[in-house]
Amino acid sequence: MNFQMKTWEDYQDAYQKSIEDPENFWAEIAQEFKWIKPWKKLLEWDFNDLQVSWFKGGKLNITENCLDRHVEHKPEQPAIIWEPNDPNEDVQVLTYKVLHDRVCRFANVLKMNGVEKGDRVCIYMPMIPELAIAVLACARIGAIHSVVFGGFSAQSISDRINDSACKVVITTDGAHRGAKLIPMKDTVDDALMNCPSVKKVIVSTRTRTPISMIKGRDVWWEEEIKKVTNECPPEVMDAEDPLFILYTSGSTGKPKGVVHTIGGYMVYTAYTFLNVFQYHPGDIYFCTADIGWITGHSYIIYGPLACGATTMMFEGIPTYPDAGRFWDIIEKHRVNTFYTAPTAIRSLMGFGDEYYKDKDLSSLRILGSVGEPINEEAWHWYHQEIGKGNCPITDTWWQTETGGIMIAPLPNITKTKPSFATLPLPGIQPILVDDQGNEIDGNGVNGNLCIKFPWPGMIRTTWGDHERCKKTYFSAYKGLYFTGDGCQRDEDGFYRITGRVDDVINVSGHRIGTAEVENAINMHTGVVESAVVGYPHDIKGQGIYAYVILEKSDHDAELTKRDILMTVSRIIGPIAKPDEIQFVSGLPKTRSGKIMRRILRKVACNELDTLGDTSTLLNPEIVDELIAGKK
């Protein structure tokens, strides 16, 4: 790929060009890929009536770019290196040739089971090679994948399946996660009790635990692949056909199905991967995310494979068999680039140096961070203890909706600064606005982070509800994409993301809507009302704090709390369980009956001296109760 910036001048030139002549800037990058038919119109856009199209009229298949193109000249190069949960189990190396064959074969299995171009396929799997194969097989035949993170509950799976009417579900019998055995198929079975659109379930064997297999609906992966060949020509797709749906939490209601389209997403993830990680042929790149999140989609699968890179997939968790597992993997596979989340860094910091001091981490050249703000202490530990002071840290800011990295330093090119994502990538035009939407000019300022010009990887719509997409992202500030994040621009023009300014909390790098957690708590018997806010948490970044009003007060508080946690686990999944539950007799409300979240946040965060005026509340006396009842 001929679009790697190598010097500060390259970055400045690229940035300049991307602003002055965005169409030619992106056209030159896109030309590096294989198009079955060239595009007719590079860019059309309107942020007011939300219409964005890139490479209109262009025809391509993303798997031809991620697989066939590399099989031609380097069939034996590893595409995916898979490290199992149990370090004693064999590693799997899938070369480009092998991955290509397995994707084509499974693509034929999908066809045989009735999947057609444009159909939705739900994928609920652990981090095994079959997950990547399933994703790419969908793309091969033009089916739209909807990967659901393996930690979500049956209820969450069925909500997502029903929202986009998935025809097929791909899962495994079970999953290995540290010392635990997770029942995947059982959860899918529960989910499917209420999913009329699903006609087939394809089950890959991982744990060989007993599971139910329903005649006519459920089939084994291993049996199906014997019935087909490994020849499957890539389906000819339009650049603006949907590639996938990925559900993400917002400040209101149920999670939204973010839709990304093929051409723009491919060009953007490849461009950002090659530059932000300064990838060179032969490098071993390891991103620790789960493919159930956008980071896994863009920077384990599509970005790296589009660039012909070698990407690692790790099945397990950072603390199994012990807290040195990441460092063992880096040593074992001679990893050059390591990309993880601040929550993992903070957690591993806490285990002490015995887990890394005797390990050979000398292969590392570049470190990445993603998902939440990285605090200075964690930044310095990562830089010194893991990178031995020689590896630049690229703190990458982006979102499910942006498709790829937006603001990040280019390693060895951009000056780094702890806790700063630094500068926008070429093609990205950030702007800070005040609450009224006025642009905040100059440096040394703070505001709401918006983007004022389209980029190829951006969200196109939310599945089944274009109005909701418009309303959520393009109507807070006229003519701008609003990120939901607060942001500082320092004296040098460097950007630092300060966190969400809406009712979304970021727990261990996972996005959780407070409204969703409240709805789950409210489903618990005896709960009258609840309010959920975030508060600072040493390891998770933010924790979930729930204020709950119960019908009766004669309950066993500890038991009731545990029951509520179970209800939340069942409704959403364990990741949404509150860290703190406080039973209260009321919630602070305005005279119009709105919950004053600001006060709840201040109490949960222990910021009592900045509570502000509480006298206008309908029930000012409740504030003392909240404070007194807090541990």
Residue 308 CA to its chain's centroid (Å): 22
Our finding on whether 494 is near ligand 7RM (CB under 6 A) is no
Our finding on whether 422 is near ligand 7RM (CB under 6 A) is no
- For residues 595 and 518, the answer to whether their CB atoms sit within 8 Å is no
Q: Would you give the binding string for ligand 7RM spanning residues 221-250, x where CB under 6 A is met?
A: ---------------------------x--
DSSP string, 88-124: TSPPEEEEHHHHHHHHHHHHHHHHHTT--TT-EEEEE
Nearest in space to 432 (alpha carbons), one of 491, 493, 488? 488
Our finding on whether 143 is near ligand 7RM (CB under 6 A) is no
What 3-state DSSP class applies to 474?
A: helix
Q: b/e map of 265-303 (b: 16 or more CB within 10 Å)? A: bbbbbbbbbbbbbbbeeebbbbbbbbbbbbbbbbbbbbb
Our finding on whether 256 is near ligand 7RM (CB under 6 A) is no
Our finding on whether 30 is near ligand 7RM (CB under 6 A) is no
What do you get for the CA distance between the two ends of the chain, in Å?
Answer: 56
Please identify, using beta-carbon distances, which residue of 372 and 518 lies nearer to ligand 7RM. 372
CB of 484 to ligand 7RM, least distance (A): 5
Please identify, using beta-carbon distances, which residue of 265 and 293 lies nearer to ligand 7RM. 293
Nearest in space to 300 (alpha carbons), one of 340, 254, 327? 340
Nearest in space to 137 (alpha carbons), one of 173, 106, 96? 106
Tokens of 249: 């939490």
CB of 398 to ligand 7RM, least distance (A): 5
Distance CA 267, CA 306 (A): 9
Please identify, using beta-carbon distances, which residue of 146 and 396 lies nearer to ligand 7RM. 396
CB of 522 to ligand 7RM, least distance (A): 25
Among 295, 340, 422, 560, binds ligand 7RM (CB under 6 A): 295
Our finding on whether 506 is near ligand 7RM (CB under 6 A) is yes
CB of 233 to ligand 7RM, least distance (A): 33
DSSP string, 216-258: TTEEEHHHHGGGS-S--PPPPEETTSEEEEEEE--SSSSPEEE
Distance CA 402, CA 156 (A): 23
Our finding on whether 269 is near ligand 7RM (CB under 6 A) is no
Q: Which stretch binds ligand 7RM (CB under 6 A): 45-53, 137-145, 287-295, 544-552?
A: 287-295
CB of 405 to ligand 7RM, least distance (A): 8
Nearest in space to 454 (alpha carbons), one of 467, 473, 440? 473
Our finding on whether 424 is near ligand 7RM (CB under 6 A) is no
Q: Which stretch binds ligand 7RM (CB under 6 A): 67-75, 107-115, 346-354, 398-406?
A: 398-406
From residue 557, alpha-carbon distances to 52, 101, 196, 539, 570 in Å are 52, 57, 40, 26, 20
Our finding on whether 497 is near ligand 7RM (CB under 6 A) is yes
CB of 172 to ligand 7RM, least distance (A): 24
CB of 135 to ligand 7RM, least distance (A): 17
From residue 411, alpha-carbon distances to 274, 391, 396 in Å are 11, 8, 11
Among 150, 371, 403, 447, binds ligand 7RM (CB under 6 A): 371
Tokens of 575: 């990741």
CB of 367 to ligand 7RM, least distance (A): 13
Our finding on whether 396 is near ligand 7RM (CB under 6 A) is yes
Q: Would you give the binding string for ligand 7RM spanning residues 183-222, x where CB under 6 A is met?
A: ----------------------------------------
Distance CA 587, CA 547 (A): 8
CB of 407 to ligand 7RM, least distance (A): 8
Nearest in space to 531 (alpha carbons), one of 514, 511, 543? 514
Our finding on whether 373 is near ligand 7RM (CB under 6 A) is yes
Our finding on whether 500 is near ligand 7RM (CB under 6 A) is yes
Residue partners of 330: CB distance under 8 A and separation at least 6 = 286, 338, 359, 361, 363, 364
Binding site residues, ligand 7RM, CB under 6 A: 248, 293-295, 370-373, 395-400, 421, 483-485, 497, 500, 506, 509, 511
